[in-house]
A and B are shown apart, each in its own frame.
Chain A
Amino acid sequence: MKFRHLSQFEKELWKCGRCAYCVDEEICPSYRLIGFESGAAKGRILIARALLNNKLNFSSDLVENLNLCFMCGACKERCKTAAKIDTVKIFLAMRKEAIDLGLYPEKLLPRYEKLKQSGNPFGLPKDERGSWAEEFSLPSKGETLYFVGCYESYVHSNIPEAFIKILEKAGITPAYLGSDEPCCGHLLIWEGRLEDAKEYAKQGIEVIERSGAKRVVFSCPACYTAFKVEYPEILGIKPSFEMLHATEFLANLIEQGKIKPEKEIKERVTYHDPCSLGRHSEVYDAPRKILRSIPGLEVNEMERNGRFSFCCGSGSGAITPILYEDFSKKIGKLRLEEAKDVADVIVTECPQCLSQFRLVKSEYGVNVELKSLITLLAQALGIDVA
């Protein structure tokens, strides 16, 4: 059998020297859950080679195995000191093969259908996308555009609200597309539906370019990674505008003295690096700069942080929580417990991580508070936030 996506990585696959740097349950949630080395990058690379050599069939076991990979990129990070294999792209190619073979998991279909029909994965009305912004008078055109994304528009709208209020303090009014803002298609990329995802990428870039924006700020790290990393590297489409994550934008404002967090917040916090913002986009310092600027905060790092942060259990594309909810929650519980060891509050800037932690917290009752970094900063600026 020919595997048109995977075969592009044949040379890459043979670079693996089986050092097993990646076979570590401390960094790899998939290996932790599966327990056998088929759950770690080393094993999946041996499986991929066997597929290309026609020694293995593309079985339903393999589809399950691939969907139990959180695509968090920790193995890729470990491999940077060894063979420098882009493991995540290889596993994505394997997911694409599964789709070509008609092995798309049925449980993912409702989300896909909702996205097709409503332009967001929740199936909520398109014209409600900008409801959170009704209290602000944001123009639809301007040099700096704010891209909010589905999760923050519909589920975590307190984050964009806080972000706009912070920008008001700095005298900045960004443009906003309102209900014309499309989904970034990040979920589809990680499901392996690249042709569909390309349509969303083209639409997103086109609508932004039409707005005349030279710079786009994203608060959702999944949207940010989609535009900045996944479109050019996976879909081969490079946006022409400058892209910043909100934490980078805000850290700059703090550095320039345009906003001054002066309200003391006496809390013991730890920062959780979302996989999309950290390993996939390499934004590690900006969120920490913001935390360090807030007076009164005690900021403690978890043992696994930065490049080797542990996944929240949602993963790129939030596939595992849909297909294997219990497994996904187990990983989230481990992460919350790790946070609890060093802090009372876990701070992050990813709506998917926040949703996942909220779910895990209610299920297991882990006694740690959850906060978005942007809302925490707003609080330190004396802004009343939800």
Chain B
Amino acid sequence: MTEEVHKALINIFGPRVTNKPIDLQAYSRDISPARETLASFVVKPQSTDEISNLLRIANKYKVPVYVRGGGTSHWAGWLPVKGGILVDMRSMNKIMEINEEHLTATVQAGCTWYKLERELKKRGLAYLSSELGGPSMTVGGSIVKAGGGPYGTCKYGLHGYCDVVSLEVVLPTGEVIRTGSRAYKNVPPFDRFGAGPDLTSFFIGSEGTLGIITEVTLRVRPVPEKEEYLYFVFKNWKNVEKVGSLICRPFGDELAYTFYAFQDGADLENIHCFIHVYGYSSEEAELRVKKIKEICGRHDGKEQDPEPVKAMYESKWFLSDIFERGVWHFVGGSVPINNLVPFVEIWKDIVINKYKFLNCAFGAWPYPRAWLPYVQFYYKEPDEWDLIWEITDVLTKEYVRMGMIPYRIGGPEGFLPYVKPQLNGYYEFLKRLKKFLDPNNILQPGILIDQEEEP
């Protein structure tokens, strides 16, 4: 059967399919310490039709299909745990349209944020939210995980909160649908709502399990006239928690783009807060700066030279020395806006005090009425694999027990084993939807939704 599948894939993709061992090996890891996993084929589609044909073939032969963008997931989000076909979306990287009146950008899902930003900039526009994913991070990859990072999140939330206007999705059985206003024939993507419920949201955060996103229309904005950077150091997290909450309190008109707090495991004295402020006029930016300074000052924040903050935001696609202290692993997710401090304490208890693992940092950024805390581990592969698995296992169990919603769930070496016992009937409902949409369970099996556990 493998030979038949190969022939069918060659019919669709020509030279853009491979089963050479060296090619498969090159796709065996994401950023996380999850063990290497090999697909049987890798394909690089260039069009929605090719993906549609691929999924029909996959259903015919009952072959699993996994999907990835830039491949930089840090929670085993696409690793082909059941083998099969891995779809590398990076060749679907066209910018289809930038509409300067609707303020929308429509891109193929494999377009990188780095590429989109450069094109938007030429027109005085920007998409003002970003993760820390580097130049390979794709639009589709971020949307499908509803990601968020230390850029713009304070003001605009995670990807998909409001800035995804429409999606084109190939359903697991190969049919193509468009959401929002594009659900109507010949109507451009200007509104997230189309016919009936908001099915754009249905696919945001679905981790590729309910369909393959092929096109995304985003809300873009004019580049603000004025940007300012502030740097404060705090001595206790209770104050940081309060400051973050106050900055986000004018809901919908938050005082900053970003409020990013972090503390190094080797320096438990200082909490560094990077703040990025914007304004569509100098007066507006100055007013925000004044208010933020007042809030920070009232909570014992000490103002610093903002140069490192500016440097970080200006080099956001190519941060320096990122693996200086080792390669990365993360544990993190979302918690309510008034509940950050217990997660700091547990980090200190488990990672710093119990395991004495100081080569780490605790960071957090607020987004509308929530925090996204995370612990970042810097470690040496392969020597510290066992230690990292042990520490992160203990920490994740505790964080999930305390009510943290992991940033995304992923597969058996991601958060799935921790999350499943915590989920209620919603998860069963999700499984039923998955079964309805993907009767052969061919799309991302083992990721997010574990159908095999059904009686």
Contact = CB atoms under 8 A, between A and B. Distances in A.
Interface of A: 14-21, 23-24, 35-38, 40, 42-44, 46-47, 50, 55-57, 59, 61-62, 65, 78, 81-84
B26 A24 contact: no
Q: Which of B26, B70, B90, B323 has the most CB of A within 10 A?
A: B26
29 contacts: A14-B381, A15-B327, A16-B323, A16-B327, A17-B323, A18-B30, A19-B136, A20-B135, A23-B70, A24-B135, A35-B16, A36-B88, A37-B23, A38-B22, A38-B26, A43-B23, A43-B26, A46-B25, A46-B36, A47-B22, A47-B25, A50-B28, A57-B21, A59-B20, A59-B21, A61-B22, A82-B321, A82-B323, A84-B321
A59 B22 contact: yes
B134 interface: yes
A7 to B, nearest CB: 15
B134 A20 contact: yes
Contacts of B323: 15-17, 19, 82-84
B22 A19 contact: no
Contacts of A46: 25-26, 28-29, 36
B72 A19 contact: yes
A35 B31 contact: no
A292 B36 CA distance: 52
Interface string B1-42: 000000000000001101011110111111100001000001
Interface of B: 15-16, 18, 20-23, 25-31, 36, 42, 44, 70-72, 88, 90-91, 134-136, 315, 318-323, 327-328, 380-382
B90 to A, nearest CB: 8
B71 A20 contact: yes
B117 to A, nearest CB: 14
B331 to A, nearest CB: 17
Contact of A19 (B18, B134, B380): B134
A76 to B, nearest CB: 14
A55 B22 CA distance: 10
Nearest to A25: B90
A55 B25 CA distance: 9
A59 B23 CA distance: 12
Contacts of A44: 26
Contact of A81 (B36, B71, B318): B318
Given A35-B91, A36-B88, A56-B22, A17 B70 contact: no
B28 A81 contact: no
Contacts of A15: 323, 327
A37 B71 contact: yes
Contacts of B380: 14
A24 B28 contact: no
Contacts of A35: 15-16, 44, 91
Nearest to B380: A14
Nearest to A40: B26
Given A23-B71, A24-B135, A17 B44 contact: no
A35 B20 CA distance: 13
A47 B26 contact: yes
Nearest to A66: B22
Nearest to B321: A81
Q: Is the interface of B mostly helix, strand, loop or mixed?
A: loop
A19 B91 contact: no
Given A14-B380, A35-B16, A81-B318, A20 B72 contact: yes
A65 B21 CA distance: 12
A18 B31 contact: yes
B21 A56 contact: yes
Contacts of B315: 81
Contacts of B321: 81-82, 84
Given A21-B135, A61-B22, A65-B22, A81 B320 contact: yes
Given A15-B323, A36-B42, A21 B318 contact: yes
B28 A21 contact: no
B29 A18 contact: yes
Contacts of A61: 20-22
A21 B133 CA distance: 9
A19 B88 contact: no
A20 B136 contact: yes
A24 B135 CA distance: 8
Contacts of B30: 18
Contacts of A42: 26
A266 to B, nearest CB: 29
A19 B31 contact: yes
A84 B323 CA distance: 8
A65 B22 CA distance: 9
Given A15-B327, A47-B25, A36 B44 contact: yes
Contacts of A19: 31, 72, 134, 136, 322-323
Contacts of B72: 18-20
A156 B30 CA distance: 47
Given A17-B327, A23-B136, A61-B20, A37 B26 contact: yes
Nearest to A15: B323
A27 B75 CA distance: 28
A56 B28 CA distance: 13
A19 B322 CA distance: 9
Instruction: In the A-B complex, list the 10 residue pairs whose CB atoms are closest, starting with the nearest.
Output: A43-B26, A20-B136, A17-B327, A38-B26, A37-B26, A83-B323, A17-B323, A38-B23, A81-B318, A36-B23
Contacts of B90: 23
Contacts of A50: 25, 28
B449 to A, nearest CB: 26
A14 B385 CA distance: 12
Nearest to B93: A25
A24 B136 contact: yes
B172 to A, nearest CB: 24
Contacts of A62: 22
A88 B192 CA distance: 47
Contact of B322 (A17, A24, A43, A65): A17
Nearest to A37: B26
